[in-house]
Amino acid sequence: MKYAVLGTGMVGHTLATKLVSLGHEVRMGAREADNVKATEWASSQGSQDGHGTFADVARWADRVIFAVSGAQIETVAAAVGEAAVAGKTVIDVTNPLDFSNGMPPDLVPHLSNTNSAGEALQAALPSAKVVKTLNTMNHEIMVNPAVVPGSHDVFLSGDYEDAKGDARDLLAEFGWSEPIDLGPLAAARGTEGMMPFWLRMWGAHGSANFNYRIVRA
Ligand SMILES: NC(=O)c1ccc[n+]([C@@H]2O[C@H](COP(=O)([O-])OP(=O)(O)OC[C@H]3O[C@@H](n4cnc5c(N)ncnc54)[C@H](OP(=O)(O)O)[C@@H]3O)[C@@H](O)[C@H]2O)c1
* DSSP characters over 153-169: --EEEES-HHHHHHHHH
User: Is the pTM here over 0.85, yes or no?
Assistant: yes
Say if ligand 1 is within 6 A of residue 35 CB: yes
Domain contains 172: yes
Domain contains 210: no
Q: How far apart are CA 121 and CA 101, in angstroms?
A: 24
Domain contains 98: yes
Q: What confidence score (pLDDT) does residue 84 get?
A: 98
Q: What confidence score (pLDDT) does residue 185 get?
A: 99
CB 129 within 8 A of CB 160: yes
Domain contains 212: no
Residue-wise pLDDT tens digits, 14-51: 999 999 999 999 999 999 999 999 999 999 999 888 99
Q: How many C-beta neighbours within 10 Å does residue 58 have? A: 29
Domain contains 213: no
Domain contains 22: yes
Say if ligand 1 is within 6 A of residue 68 CB: yes
Say if ligand 1 is within 6 A of residue 117 CB: no
CB 21 within 8 A of CB 175: no
The enclosing H or E element of 115 equals none
Say if ligand 1 is within 6 A of residue 93 CB: yes
CB 152 within 8 A of CB 211: yes
Say if ligand 1 is within 6 A of residue 95 CB: yes
CA 9 to ligand 1 center in whole angstroms: 6
Pocket test for ligand 1, best of 13, 68, 130 (most atoms within 8 A of CB): 68
Write the CATH number for 36: 3.40.50.720
Q: How far apart are CA 13 and CA 173, in angstroms?
A: 17
Q: What confidence score (pLDDT) does residue 48 get?
A: 83
Residue nearest to atom 27 of ligand 1 (CA): 69
Domain range spanning residue 171? 2-205
Residue-wise pLDDT tens digits, 76-100: 999 999 999 999 999 999 999 999 9
Q: What confidence score (pLDDT) does residue 49 get?
A: 87
Say if ligand 1 is within 6 A of residue 139 CB: yes
Say if ligand 1 is within 6 A of residue 53 CB: no
- Which residues in the chain come in under a pLDDT of 70? none
Looking at the structure of the chain, the number of domains it has is 1
Q: What confidence score (pLDDT) does residue 87 get?
A: 98
